Amino acid sequence: MIAVLLKVDETCVVQALKEAGGKLDGVEGEVVLDFSPVTRIDAGGLIAMEEFANRADDKGVKVALRGVPVSVYKVLKLMKLASRFTFVN
């Protein structure tokens, strides 16, 4: 299993997720996305999260989110996206 750590910046969540999605081809096992700098997520970010989760599922890669603030977790939970990820501190 190879784990890859990618940091997501709040100012460019959509772009970071698209770049991470492009890197899924060379990944086996798990991708860890560091969300500690992200304090909020907008509609575009949610769409990008869903697309990233779909692509990861297609590739058989598990996605863990690290450092997710409670406010972002609540939004993911309300949008029924939280169950698609593993959350770590």
Residue 88 pairs in a beta bridge with: 66
- CATH class (in words) of the domain with range 2-88: alpha beta
Residue 1 has pLDDT above 60, yes or no: no
pTM of full prediction above 0.75? yes
Q: Report the alpha-carbon distance of residue 34 to residue 6 in Å, rounded.
A: 6
> Which residue has tokens 């096992």?
29
pLDDT 10s digits, 18-67: 888 888 887 778 888 999 999 999 999 999 999 999 999 999 999 999 99
